Amino acid sequence: MTTGTSDKKILHYIDKPNVLKEIARKVSVGERISPDDGIALFEQAELGLLGLLADMVRTRNNGTNAYYIRNFHIEPTNICVNKCKFCSYSHHFSPNKWELSVDEILEKVKLQDDTVLELHITGAVHPDRDIYYYGDLLRKIKALRPGLHVKAYSAVELDYMIEKSAMKISEGLEYLKSCGLGSIPGGGAEIFDETIRENICGMKSSSNRWLEIHEIAHRIGIPSNATMLYGHLETYLHRIDHLERLRQLQDRTGGFNAFIPLKFRNRNNEMSDIAEVSVVEDMKMYAVARIYLDNFPHLKAYWPAVGRKLAQISMSFGVDDMDGTINDSTQIYSLAGAEDQNPAMTVSQMIAMITEGKRTPVERDSYYQEMKA
């Protein structure tokens, strides 16, 4: 092992239990860590060591780059067949109830200028809408803006609409791809442990179903993201179990672009009695995820969830993707009490945030290809 600046800094921290020394060695040489190693990092490692190890992996993958995209969200409805205890968004808990028409959605697309590259569509699982409704919506959006990448429909939404239409998962995904679906967001994963999942979102698709849908999508050429909802009832063991299942799927398919830790927010939902975790815990989550998911090219901080300042800090704990400009087009986290109630950033603000975080801002497309000026 060469002794670079990072390695010398690590030596300061690893006069610790032998397990941390061995983990530091593994990360330094690019060797995969085990589930037990992951739990040890959560339980025993100081934040400084976690930052150094995560930064080593980030640098190996992406140098000093921190990516962003010009994007916006459309949330077609908050009328939902599910009633998840952590949700502040659905009509079960939100003070507002909405159901956008196709024309209203297309008007939102028309309002975006030509520099916007990506549309993210996700929301509630509407009881009356099948796959043909959502396929027709994709076709109309692509007819209006052929060059716009549409990242749409979480695995939970896909599961419901495909089953409602009496299709196999592969058939449904092939149909949506033919309509213009470019990629799938990572929502609905929550936490994979079945016992906790039953407790907090028992009406939702199972963890195995979520993983199956993403695996089939990857195999037919639809990339996706992955998420984890952390900071509620789960333990470190549950977090590592979740990361391990994602890592195994990525080994099989290579279809995940990015992993996004999503912080549980406790406003306006049935889990409001659970205190939100600390900033230290947030940074531990980012760092361990970056170290553990050695086959994921990117780690994203979804800044509407944690706020701009913490997103900036997260770049020192393995994060290389700041998501995008968003244009005040999502309510999912603002309804749950996130600090930014009107999430939007200009490109210049995004560049400033990244530059002040000592990283190199890189505008990207949906496949992480650099956009040339």
- 115-124 pLDDT, tens digit per residue, is 999 999 988 8
Give residue 248's pLDDT band: very low, low, confident or very high (50, 70, 90).
very high
% pLDDT > 90, the chain = 72
User: What pLDDT does residue 330 have?
Assistant: 43
372 in any annotated domain: no
What percent of the chain is modeled with pLDDT above 70?
A: 89
Query: Which pLDDT value is given to residue 296?
Result: 98
Going by pLDDT thresholds of 50, 70 and 90, the confidence category of residue 283 is very high
Between residues 159 and 344, which one has the greater pLDDT? 159
Is residue 261 in some structural domain?
A: yes
* Structural domain range at position 83: 67-363
Classify each residue of 127-153 as buried b or exposed e, where b means 16 or more C-beta atoms within 10 Å of its C-beta.
eebbbeebbebbebbbeebeebbbbbb
Radius of gyration of the chain from its Cα atoms, rounded to whole angstroms:
20
Q: Is the pLDDT of residue 188 over 90?
A: yes
Mean pLDDT in residue range 173-188: 97
User: Domain boundary residue among 61, 77, 99?
Assistant: 61
Confidence of residue 12 (pLDDT cuts 50, 70, 90): low
Question: What are the tens digits of pLDDT across the range 305-335?
Answer: 888 899 999 999 999 999 988 865 444 434 4
Task: Give every CB contact of residue 64 below 8 A, 6+ residues apart in sequence.
Answer: 358, 359, 360
Angle at 12 between CA 10 and CA 13, to 5 degrees: 70
In a domain, 34, yes or no: yes
192 and 304 in a single domain? The answer is yes
Last residue in a domain, options 61, 86, 106: 61
Per the structure, the count of domains in the chain is 2
**pLDDT value at residue 342:** 60
Helix or strand or coil: residue 46?
coil
Range 217-222 contact pairs with CB under 8 angstroms and sequence separation of 24 or more: 217/173, 217/184, 217/255, 218/253, 218/254, 218/255, 218/256, 219/253, 219/255, 220/170, 220/173, 220/174, 220/177, 221/177, 222/173, 222/177, 222/181, 222/182, 222/183, 222/184, 222/255
* Confidence check: pLDDT of 223 > 80: yes
Q: Are residues 77 and 14 in the same domain?
A: no
The dihedrals phi and psi of 227, each to the nearest 5 degrees, come to -135, 170
Q: What pLDDT score was predicted for residue 343?
A: 61
What span, in angstroms and rounded, lies between the C-alpha atoms of 41 and 37? 6
The chain-wide mean pLDDT, for the chain, equals 89
The answer on 29 and 175 residing in a single domain is: no
78 and 218 fall within a common domain:
yes
Return d(Cα 188, Cα 205) in angstroms, integer. Answer: 8
82 & 36 share domain = no
**CATH assignment of the domain containing 188:** 3.20.20.70
158 and 177 within one domain? yes
Q: 287-324 burial, b for 16+ CB within 10 Å, e for fewer?
A: bbbbbbbbebbbbbbbbbbbbbebbbbbbbbbbbbbbb
Backbone dihedral angles phi then psi of residue 297, each to the nearest 5 degrees: -70, -25
Bridge partners of 370? 364
d(CA 81, CA 95): 17
- Same-domain pairing of 46 and 74: no
Domain boundary among 46, 61, 76: 61
Count of CB atoms situated within 10 Å of the CB of 345: 22
Average pLDDT over residues 145-158: 96
Same domain, 38 and 85: no
| pLDDT score, position 85 | 85
